[in-house]
A and B are shown apart, each in its own frame.
Chain A
Amino acid sequence: MANVNEGAVSKRVPILDGLLSGSLSDPDNLTLAGCKCTSCGETALGSKTICPNCGCDTVKNISLSERGVLWSFTVVRHRPPGNYRGPEPFVPFGLGLVELPEGLRVLSPIKCDIEKLKIGLGLQFRPYVRKDPDGREVVAFAFEPVNEGGAHV
């Protein structure tokens, strides 16, 4: 399972096209993708060709910072409706807005003890590979507290 051969890599897909920046074969070095508009200066989530603020096509696709700060959060206490792909059986989890230095706040699951969730908490981007029953490998993401894990230095 640990060996990533060519076939496995070709079946690997991002959870959404345009949301991640970097090579899917090296998930540890992925970041969130963003776009910065040279006309209005706004930075938005995901690579885009049109600025979602001013509508100009003067956008530059960028990689977003891996580190941010928890701006607000909640604890989801009930299993979300539909095709939720979190741990089974369901466990309550943190969901928060992570403010990144590029000037945007990104909604993300927050991987940590729910008791530790606190506005201002330092967070780190944590991409991961999810194996789906249909054989696909889906690259998804969460944020986790800077001090936990610590693989990214």
Chain B
Amino acid sequence: MSDVVILGAGMHPFGRFDKTYEELGAQAAAEALRDAGVEWRQIQGAYLSRMYLPATSGARILRRLGSTDISVVDIEAACASGGAALRQAVLAVRSGEIDLAMVLGCEKMPRGFMDPSMIYSPWQIELGMSLNPAYWSMRAMRHMYEYGTTELQIAKVAYKNHRNSVHNPYAMYRKEFSLDEIVNSPLVCDPIRRLEICAPDDGAAAVVIASEKRARQLGVKGKAINIAASCHTIARYSADFRCPADSMSATANNPGPTEVTAKQAYERAGIAPKDIDCFEVQDTDAFCEIEIYESLGLCALGEGGRLVEEGSTEINGPMPVNMSGGLISKGEPVGASHLGQVVEIISQLRGTAGPRQVAGAKVGLAHVLGAGGNCAVTILQS
């Protein structure tokens, strides 16, 4: 199997902007091309990940870089859209049909809770089941009951991520909050609080990928980042209680989507969790990050709360998680979020992350998880 590499990356900050989605997307795409040292007209295929944008958004954004007749497609897989789009581009390059591709994630979203009609049926909305944080909270509540995870451990995740974001120019909120402020912020859905959840916003991020052979021809092989794994799956039967579910099995015992996708990615990359130097994961809410520590294999089931409490996932800890500040501080422009994680991992592997830098990072993992049990895991190696 031939290797696929990332030649360059670009990002428009995540936040709320008085700009069109075309402007946001084109800026990230142009920056990725500049960083890669590649001209737009050399790109042979382009993939846009997005959830809230209209049809043919990819073509509308990328025409701003010049007319083209290549295949440009929009891809949607809820919060995992970016991982699904990257995977399609990797497969296309690996097939040999094209050897230079653009993957762009872009989103522009309204403030507040997400439009429930996107994923819920009318009866679920009528009964009050249309609040995404309610689903996250029920998993948190059960985890607390089964393993003794505490509200303070959950708050510690938000504390860490908000603090990391202070040094990230791409984050929406760049403000440190004290643990006290976090545990006293209003409850959204018990036990999850205002300062422990992510907000929808705007943003864009892009990468230019190539076959290893093309990278060599372009003379940039040395600075290229290897895509060791690019995986996307949806949850097996009842393996994940996540919106918009109306019930779950009490007898099926399938492994969860993060476990399944990560296992696939570890196998493809030929590595184990202990070989990975830094992680960017789906902290839609602070509890979710604790659950993901466990399902990525960073610790045993039920030990996630302890892991954050003892500081293991701090930037200077043995397994740094969400150096960027995570979605809790960047916001979650759904289609752009995974590519945003990938851009962070690239700067970590290049050693250009400044105060967020994980010393000597050579391998990084990006993880997203969302509606329908959509999960994507990307592993990058310098």
Contacts and interface: CB of A to CB of B under 8 A. Distances in A.
Interface residues of A, number: 41
Interface of A is mostly: strand
B180 interface: no
A116 interface: no
A104 B250 contact: yes
A140 B187 contact: no
Interface stretch (A1-9, A23-31, A80-88, A144-152): A80-88
Contacts of A76: 128, 131, 134, 189
B190 A42 contact: no
B129 interface: yes
Interface of A: 15-16, 19, 41-45, 52-53, 71-78, 80-86, 93, 95-97, 99-100, 103-109, 119, 138, 140
B125 A53 contact: no
A81 B130 CA distance: 7
Interface residues of B, number: 42
A52 B122 CA distance: 21
B247 A45 contact: yes
13 contacts: A42-B251, A44-B249, A45-B246, A74-B189, A77-B187, A80-B129, A84-B126, A85-B126, A86-B128, A105-B249, A106-B246, A106-B247, A109-B128
A93 B131 CA distance: 12
Given A45-B246, A53-B249, A97-B138, A82 B190 contact: no
Nearest to A99: B250
A119 B145 contact: yes
B300 interface: no
Interface in B278-331: none
Given A76-B128, A106-B246, A81 B116 contact: yes
B238 A72 contact: no
Interface in B123-148: 123, 125-131, 134, 137-139, 141-142, 145
